[in-house]
Structure 1
């Protein structure tokens, strides 16, 4: 489900054309103002003196701490500067803008969880290890999948890209062609990322998922009364647990690896 790039609210999929990016005109206007402000500040940045002790690493770590605490809605050059106690213009000597800051943040958190070399001996154990390690990144920093969604292209983050390279090597020499190995590596990452997307909403929600559903019991009953969702009407405790992000991640990972196993067996039998 797509979400607003400003407030994170879920968006209804577009019937046709480009997917929506904002939930309202207010959020669209806020995003525009932030882009204009960032360009203006960046243009003026060279006149600001360097700050002793400030570095790219300090800027990135401050931004990570900020977003761990406030979510992606709090990410901006101005808020990061305030976190460091410096003028916003000073930051542009180290990071050219918000998009580059996001790229460096993603690279940093993946760098905090390096994959072992050479890793387990079996391809399946390797892929499972890499998926669980990426999942741990998202548990530690639930905003990362949301930050991915704010970029127009995948970020050029070398320490994140190492994960893809590591996974491709995990299924090398198994009789698969290279494009298939690439698809497998990307699918593992995409599965972990998509399963984790809801984690940020849960982190900053004012109420637990159970409390949120309980407060909307009347609305749910009204929606089910139409009779067009017989399967949803069967939801109980077991189904509720099955829909939790970690349950979806575990189930999907097992199905994905089973599918790769069958693919490998099939390629060897030809």
Structure 2
């Protein structure tokens, strides 16, 4: 004897055609809703199982590269992957860990060469320029560093520090001095790159922004209180650009390291 597949009620004997499976329209509607829910749950499960830490991290990187911001967002990353935000917590504990993994992934994509060029100066210069290129490609990273109370515990970021320490090893320097040199190179590069994030999504260039405020600038300079700033021209404006600050600062830092090495060797 046939019974309803939803409520189990006895069905009348089947006549011609396909046998009835439900006793009423209500049971038929309920069966339809259950099929739709099961299909949606299966799709969500399949999509969730397709996630991985690498996919989550790279989606977050692409999102911040494209839209800017001070760092990762669990909600925006979930929307980017078209999954529920809770799905991400199976892979990362929160946006702080997501940010750390993003930085680790990016620096892992740009490893420093082994053994590197000959000479400590060439090695430090290469490492600084490579880090600079990372920030040009992902200008939000220095901004994210500035918002954290401690540097991220990223093994592949720390590999840059280790590489730089090895670059100045066996030069007669004590270990704390070598650590200062390695960190100093990175700190300068990050600081010089910090304005890049503001430029990436600005509606106008620095020249256009300054031009729109030329009246305010002239009024400020007319007081005579800023005689050096009043001398600014095209060459000084170019000197104030982030890439110029990076190059000049790097040159000065490396000269200072050379002086430190020379002083230690002549003791």
RMSD after superposition:
1.3
Cross-structure match for 2:79:
82
Cross-structure match for 2:259:
262
Cross-structure match for 2:18:
none
Cross-structure match for 2:52:
55
Q: In the TM superposition, what are the counterparts of 1:188-207 in structure 2 within 5 Å?
A: 188-207=185-204
Q: Distance in 1 between matches of 2:66 and 2:182?
A: 31
* Displacement after TM superposition at 1:64 (Å): 0.3
Question: Is residue 2:56 matched to residue 1:69?
Answer: no
Cross-structure match for 1:220:
217
Cross-structure match for 2:160:
163
Cross-structure match for 2:28:
none
Determine which structure has more spread, i.e. the larger CA radius of gyration: 2
Kept in 2, the 8 Å contact 1:139–1:199? The answer is yes
* Displacement after TM superposition at 1:152 (Å): 1.4
Question: Is residue 2:107 matched to residue 1:110?
Answer: yes
Structure 1 residues 188 and 59: alpha-carbon distance in aligned structure 2, compared to 1, 3 A threshold: same
Kept in 1, the 8 Å contact 2:71–2:99? The answer is no
1:44-71: CA deviation from partner (whole Å, max 9, x where unpaired): xxxx968121011000000000000111
* Displacement after TM superposition at 1:229 (Å): 1.0
Q: Distance in 2 between matches of 1:228 and 1:178?
A: 46
Kept in 2, the 8 Å contact 1:66–1:74? The answer is no
Kept in 2, the 8 Å contact 1:142–1:203? The answer is yes
Aligned length: 223
Kept in 2, the 8 Å contact 1:145–1:197? The answer is yes
Q: In the TM superposition, what are the counterparts of 1:148-187 in structure 2 within 5 Å?
A: 148-187=145-184
* Displacement after TM superposition at 1:208 (Å): 0.6
Q: Which runs of 5+ in 1 are unaligned?
A: 1-47
Kept in 2, the 8 Å contact 1:241–1:247? The answer is yes
* Displacement after TM superposition at 1:226 (Å): 2.2
* SS of corresponding position for 1:51: helix
Question: Is residue 2:138 matched to residue 1:138?
Answer: no
Kept in 2, the 8 Å contact 1:99–1:151? The answer is no
Kept in 1, the 8 Å contact 2:72–2:98? The answer is no
TM-score (norm 1): 0.81
Q: Distance in 1 between matches of 2:54 and 2:240?
A: 38
Kept in 2, the 8 Å contact 1:126–1:170? The answer is yes
Q: Distance in 2 between matches of 1:64 and 1:250?
A: 27
Kept in 1, the 8 Å contact 2:127–2:160? The answer is yes
* Displacement after TM superposition at 1:74 (Å): 7.0
Q: Distance in 1 between matches of 2:72 and 2:159?
A: 26
1:90-142: CA deviation from partner (whole Å, max 9, x where unpaired): 00111110111111111111111100111111000000000000001001101
